């Protein structure tokens, strides 16, 4: 029992969250917003640099500076960092950090009083890091797939087809376009491993959760794939440290953090993971069949799987779970709140009237269906925006409201089938989870209870829980994951919505009609 720190280095901010496992409470929670503090110094906008041609980068030195500021803020707010027994973290997935031959020594020699920014300014072979928003590597994606023997081979090998935002294509592009910079690169890390290296004062390897977001890791062995590395770039096997289990200590916290912020010398640092796999832990999804749905601007469905099943159509991503046993499936539907708000605004409704429309319309909507592609869609792949209405009057506001929600729920069921997960319960987060009518439709379509789960920082919480789990295992007193997550990852009391059997029967019939409509308009 004790206190554990989870960090989450996201696109726009760095968050620190401290849990107290004695009380089962979050003890402290602080975020450092990059634009607020570093906009002028680094030229960022919403945490990133838009370099043109689809290139979106960020500044790894800024992340180090943010770490100093975050820890100082925690301390100023009365958090005794000396009580922290272990630290783990998460980083925005797919971002790559390029370090030169000075990096290992500089990390090992970190001491106060100079800040991290001053001590680490010379360790980068590339001053900026391409991140998940970068879409400039389409050619490299094709080359990587061809290099391993085709798209299907890469999918089976790594769990994913080549994505522009993934690390492998980004590394290949750098090696092609700046061969001298690539030659000067001694170590390539991810955002997660870079942040862990700062804390540990040594180069920390990548964990399997974040490694599986690179197109370079064998999804089954949880090690770098020699075949993928060879297809990606020359000498890459020498620039990547071996993948390490997420619960293997990386070592004690650097003396820099002991002297500057009062960490205990024995505080252990565990490998950081990606933000999506960390959120899986933060939401308590540690058993196969548990599924969460985030209803945001885009809707994201992610599930805990016992085997690394893959989507034949490349509709979802597969990552290793940091729990060391399971896998994570992730599907992103671009037309989430974007579509819900479009229908609301077209009919001049507020959210109260939107919810009332759901209550006043029957399950199945009398056969009226909508394909709500108000913007190009990711799943299913739709290149151009275009709303399709089937037996649906565009002037009937109530029918339109039900049609868009039923479309989203039916699509989530159809396109999650490849995961091979029998969905027993659905945890829902995000702004739209406040609407019980929306949740009822998802419960009825999936035929399972829906639990509302309110958390703003699931990735940071998952990181703190990982630190707790790793600490107990290293001490020889391991606990099952369910016991680790249970006190913190709980649905809101009284929020569970049960499926209506009659409505579920309606949707079992309707889903085939919706699938045919979708296939007719998506090819």
The structural domains of the chain, ordered by start, are 3-277 (3.30.420.40), 284-454+493-523 (3.30.420.40)
Residue 499 banded pLDDT, cuts 50, 70, 90: very high
How crowded is the C-beta side of 203, counted as CA atoms within 13 Å?
A: 22
CA 89 from chain center: how many Å? 12
Residue 523 banded pLDDT, cuts 50, 70, 90: low
Q: Does pLDDT of 476 surpass 90?
A: yes
Task: Determine the average pLDDT of the residues in 408-430.
Answer: 91
Per residue in 173-194, is it b (16+ CB within 10 Å) or e — as a string? bbbeeeeebbeebbbbbbbbbb
Collapse the DSSP code of 130 into the 3-class scheme (helix H, G, I; strand E, B; otherwise coil) and give the result. strand
Taking alpha carbons only, the member of 207, 215, 230, 212 closest to residue 163 is 215
Residue 194 banded pLDDT, cuts 50, 70, 90: very high
Beta bridge partners of 5: 18, 87
Per-residue DSSP letter, 106? H
Q: Does pLDDT of 297 surpass 90?
A: no
pLDDT digits (tens, 9 = 90+) for 59-74: 999 999 999 999 999 9
Question: Which of 128-137, 242-251, 296-305 has the lowest average pLDDT?
Answer: 296-305
Taking alpha carbons only, the member of 230, 215, 52 closest to residue 147 is 230
What pLDDT, on the 0 to 100 scale, is given for residue 107? 98
Return d(Cα 367, Cα 392) in angstroms, integer: 8
Task: Determine the average pLDDT of the residues in 206-213.
Answer: 97
Collapse the DSSP code of 479 into the 3-class scheme (helix H, G, I; strand E, B; otherwise coil) and give the result. coil
Beta bridge partners of 89: 7
Q: Does pLDDT of 494 surpass 70?
A: yes
Tell me the three-class secondary structure of 211-235, residue by residue.
HCCCCCEECCCCEECHHHHHHHCCC
Q: Does pLDDT of 381 surpass 90?
A: no
Return d(Cα 177, Cα 325) in angstroms, integer: 38
Q: How many other C-beta atoms are found inside a 10 Å radius of the C-beta of residue 210?
A: 34
Return d(Cα 435, Cα 419) in angstroms, integer: 27
Predicted structure pTM score: 0.89
Residue 430 banded pLDDT, cuts 50, 70, 90: confident
Residue 491 banded pLDDT, cuts 50, 70, 90: confident
DSSP per-residue letters across 232-269: H-TTHHHHSPPP--TTS--EEPPHHHHHHH---TT-EE
Residue 39 banded pLDDT, cuts 50, 70, 90: very high
Question: Which of 182-191, 262-271, 298-307 has the lowest average pLDDT?
Answer: 298-307
Task: Determine the average pLDDT of the residues in 120-133.
Answer: 96
Return d(Cα 416, Cα 448) in angstroms, integer: 14
What pLDDT, on the 0 to 100 scale, is given for residue 97? 98
Query: In degrees rounded to 5, what are phi and psi of residue 28?
Result: -160, 150
Mean pLDDT of the chain: 95
Taking alpha carbons only, the member of 98, 67, 60 closest to residue 81 is 67
Q: Does pLDDT of 421 surpass 70?
A: yes
Task: Determine the average pLDDT of the residues in 128-141.
Answer: 95
CA 477 from chain center: how many Å? 29
Q: Could you tell me which residue, 334 or 484, shows the higher pLDDT?
A: 484
pLDDT digits (tens, 9 = 90+) for 143-186: 999 999 999 999 999 999 999 989 999 999 999 999 999 999 99
């Amino acid at each position: 029992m004790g206190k554990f720190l989870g960090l989450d280095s996201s696109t726009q901010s760095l968050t620190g969250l401290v849990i107290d496992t004695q009380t089962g409470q979050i003890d402290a929670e602080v975020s450092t917003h990059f634009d607020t503090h570093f906009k002028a110094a680094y030229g960022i906008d919403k945490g990133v640099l838009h370099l043109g041609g689809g290139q979106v980068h960020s500044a790894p030195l800024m992340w180090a500076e943010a770490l100093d500021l975050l820890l100082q803020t925690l301390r100023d707010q009365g958090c005794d960092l000396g009580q922290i027994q272990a630290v783990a973290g998460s980083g925005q997935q797919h971002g790559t950090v390029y370090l030169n031959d000075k990096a290992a020594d500089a990390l090992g020699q970190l001491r106060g009083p100079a800040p991290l920014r001053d001590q680490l300014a010379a360790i980068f072979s590339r001053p900026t890091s391409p991140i998940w928003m970068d879409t400039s590597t389409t050619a490299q994606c094709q080359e990587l797939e061809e290099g391993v023997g085709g798209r299907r081979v890469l999918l089976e090998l790594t769990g994913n087809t080549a994505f522009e935002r993934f690390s492998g294509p980004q590394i290949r592009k750098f090696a092609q376009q700046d061969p001298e910079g690539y030659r000067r690169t001694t170590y390539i890390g991810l955002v997660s491993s870079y942040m862990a290296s700062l804390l540990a004062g040594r180069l920390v390897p990548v964990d399997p959760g974040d490694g599986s977001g690179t197109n370079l890791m064998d999804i089954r062995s949880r090690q770098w794939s020699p075949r993928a590395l060879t297809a990606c770039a020359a000498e890459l096997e020498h620039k990547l440290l071996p993948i390490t289990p997420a619960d293997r200590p990386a070592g004690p916290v650097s003396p820099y953090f002991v002297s500057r912020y009062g960490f205990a010398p024995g505080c252990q640092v565990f490998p950081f993971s990606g933000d999506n796999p960390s959120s899986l832990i933060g939401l308590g999804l540690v058993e196969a069949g548990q599924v969460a749905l985030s209803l945001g601007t885009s809707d994201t469905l992610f599930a805990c799987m016992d085997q690394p099943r893959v989507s034949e159509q490349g509709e979802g991503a597969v990552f290793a779970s940091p729990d060391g046993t399971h896998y994570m499936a992730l599907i992103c539907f671009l037309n989430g709140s974007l579509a819900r708000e479009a229908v609301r605004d077209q009919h001049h409704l507020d959210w109260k009237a939107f919810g009332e429309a759901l209550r006043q319309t029957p399950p199945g909507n009398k056969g009226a269906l909508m394909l709500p592609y108000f913007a190009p869609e990711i799943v299913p792949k739709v290149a151009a925006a275009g709303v399709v209405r089937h037996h649906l009057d565009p002037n009937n506001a109530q029918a339109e409201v039900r049609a868009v929600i039923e479309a989203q729920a039916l699509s989530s069921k159809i396109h999650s089938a490849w995961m091979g997960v029998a969905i027993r319960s659905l945890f829902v987060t995000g702004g739209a989870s406040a609407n019980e009518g929306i949740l009822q439709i998802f419960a009825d379509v999936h035929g399972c209870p829906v639990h509302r789960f309110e958390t703003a920082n699931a990735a940071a919480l998952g990181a703190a829980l990982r630190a707790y789990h790793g600490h107990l295992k290293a001490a020889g007193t391991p606990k099952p994951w369910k016991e680790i997550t249970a006190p913190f990852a709980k649905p809101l009391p009284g929020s569970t919505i049960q499926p209506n059997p009659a409505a579920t029967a309606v949707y079992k019939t309707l889903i085939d009609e919706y699938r045919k409509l979708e296939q007719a308009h998506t090819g």
